[in-house]
Amino acid sequence: KQEVTQIPAALSVPEGENLVLNCSFTDSAIYNLQWFRQDPGKGLTSLLLIQSSQREQTSGRLNASLDKSSGRSTLYIAASQPGDSATYLCAVRNYGQNFVFGPGTRLSVLP
């Protein structure tokens, strides 16, 4: 059974720092992996989707990488801003299965 973990559980950084959020999964036979952002009391906003054949995806200041063999994905946020403060969730989908979500990393970017 696929299990997804995210480290750290919470992170607080000063504005302007580059930072990395980690997502690990136990079953490497994944179909794709999706990163989401969730603001307090809100739904999830899709950030990046990486297919199993891809190594990374980029959108603006965000870059997500995927290493299937080691069961890891990282979300890199460049030049962080207070508006980036939110909870970041990764979700992993195996072939023929539904998404399995990690517990999230709660990010605070301090002005």
Partner 1 sequence: DGGITQSPKYLFRKEGQNVTLSCEQNLNHDAMYWYRQDPGQGLRLIYYSQIVNDFQKGDIAEGYSVSREKKESFPLTVTSAQKNPTAFYLCASSIGGAAEAFFGQGTRLTVV
Instruction: Give the closest residue to 37 by CA, choosing from 99, 100, 91, 97.
Output: 91
> Which position has the token pair 């009391």?
41
Examine residue 14 and say whether the peptide bond preceding it is cis (omega within 30 degrees of 0). no
Distance separating alpha carbons of residues 98 and 82, to the nearest angstrom: 33
CB of 63: closest distance to partner 1 in angstroms? 17
Residues 14-53 vs partner 1: string with x where CB under 8 A? -----------------xx-x-x----xxxxxx--x----
| Chain residues 72-111 in contact with partner 1, contact rule CB under 8 A | 89, 91, 93, 98-104
Q: Quote the least distance from Cβ 104 to partner 1, whole Å.
A: 7
Q: Does 64 bind partner 1 (CB under 8 A)?
A: no
